[in-house]
Amino acid sequence: MHEYPDARSVVRALRPDEPVILNRPHAAARAARFFVEKFPGRVLYAVKANPSPDLLRVLWANGVTHYDVASIAEVRLVAATLPEAELCFMHPVKAPSAIREAYHEHGCRTFTLDTPEELEKIVDACRDSQGNPATDLRLLVRLRVSSEYSELSLAAKFGCDLADAGPLLQQTRQHCDWLGVCFHVGSQAMTPFAYVQALERTRVAITAASVVIDMVDVGGGFPSVYPGMEPPPLEDYFAIIHRQFEALPIAYNAELWCEPGRALAAEYNSLIVRVEKRRGNELYINDGAYGALFDAAHIAWKFPVAALEDDLIDPEEDFSFYGPTCDDADFMKGPFPLPGDIQAGDYIEIGMLGAYGAAMKTAFNGFGAAAHIVVTDEPMASLYDGSRVRPVADNVVSLR
């Protein structure tokens, strides 16, 4: 794959008719090393954030050995791309055939559940050819926790209620070699206190169950930097999680896990789009809600933007975007600040699309083609480049 120094050089060289996805392997590698070196436990990559095989290889090369897979397609992808990777099937509702294939064909031993029915399904699917139950299962019971400190809630769909957690943990303990507890505080948690609350619920559940716990998985939720969303340093999250974990009534050798997706992938991709039409302060661009900008359209996520032309001189104005399809829903309100003299034919870079951006593209209405090009400059925002220094004393939650 040909490398360019930055988005401007891509535009000058190619003047592309279709959107271009820019890959920054060095940014993903840096994020992986940060987590592997600083998180006080095991780091799993949540593949759903961006299943690019190239990204998976970058993360593996920089120390990420465990992968949170949510479907049999992701199981197959990671198994084919990284044959030595540890697969962890963390979706709490799985087809029996998916469990069976993951266990018997791909060596997956770690599964999540949140109901007795799912436990029964896993136990039955993992039996050997003589009908004997598996003796090497690593099972995690997912708790429902609050998402009030996160930008996107993940509290409604999965997780058992606290009142049901004790009996389910006791039942699960009888069928596994390792027993764990997991949860997800929601996407883009803007304060470490989200994990304090969740780990307190974990403590209550473990105490009620009175069983040996071998692993606690704090899930994802670790934030990235976007316009209007400036999180505390990730080191603050790690320190508070570690302190709460150490206070839990668990086995002395219990492991601490986490499942970052956004935090590992966000800086990996940005997107070059072309303005096809201007109508007042609305720009018609050649990617949108059915492409990499799903979040910008459907949850009004604000991504950083930069004009890529050298001759734009007017002060910035706030713009909204329309995507290329015939659908009125293909609209991104923004605001996206760009030079006031931007016009049709000009190019824009939209940053921080590595998580849930490039992975969401569809071919609706015949659009969706996009070349992938490697660039070597820094992403438009970063948690890992040393530019963000925030004193611990300024954090929302005290570490003392």
pLDDT tens, 332-364? Answer: 999 999 999 999 999 999 999 999 998 888 888
Which pLDDT score, from 0 to 100, does residue 399 have?
39
Residue 105 has pLDDT above 90, yes or no: yes
Residue 393 has pLDDT above 60, yes or no: no
Which pLDDT score, from 0 to 100, does residue 392 have?
52
Fold of 3-22+268-375: Lyase, Ornithine Decarboxylase; Chain A, domain 1 (2.40.37)
**For range 243-254, the mean pLDDT:** 94
Among 5-9, 13-17, 203-207, 227-231, the range scoring the smallest mean pLDDT is 227-231
**For range 269-285, the mean pLDDT:** 97
**Domain residue spans of the chain:** 3-22+268-375, 25-265
Among 108-117, 218-227, 276-285, 380-389, the range scoring the smallest mean pLDDT is 380-389
The whole-model pTM stands at 0.93
Which pLDDT score, from 0 to 100, does residue 389 have?
65
Q: What is the 3-state secondary structure (H, E, C) of the chain?
A: CCEECCHHHHHHHHCCCCCEEEECHHHHHHHHHHHHHHCCCEEEEEHHHCCCHHHHHHHHHCCCCEEEECCHHHHHHHHHHCCCCEEEECCCCCCHHHHHHHHHHHCCCEEEECCHHHHHHHHHHCCCCCCCCCCCCEEEEEECCCCCCEEECCCCCCCECHHHHHHHHHHHHCCCCEEEEECCCCEEECCCHHHHHHHHHHHHHHHHHCCCCCEEECCCCCCCCECCECCCCHHHHHHHHHHHHHCCCCCCCCEEEECCCHHHHHHHEEEEEEEEEEECCEEEECCCCCCCCHHHHHCCCCCCEEECCCCCCCCEEEEEEECCCCCCCCEEEEEEEEECCCCCCCEEEECCCCCCCHHHCCCHHHCCCCEEEEECCCCCCCCCCCCCCCCHHHCCCCCC
Name the average pLDDT for the chain: 93
The second-level CATH assignment, the architecture, of 25-265 is Alpha-Beta Barrel (3.20)
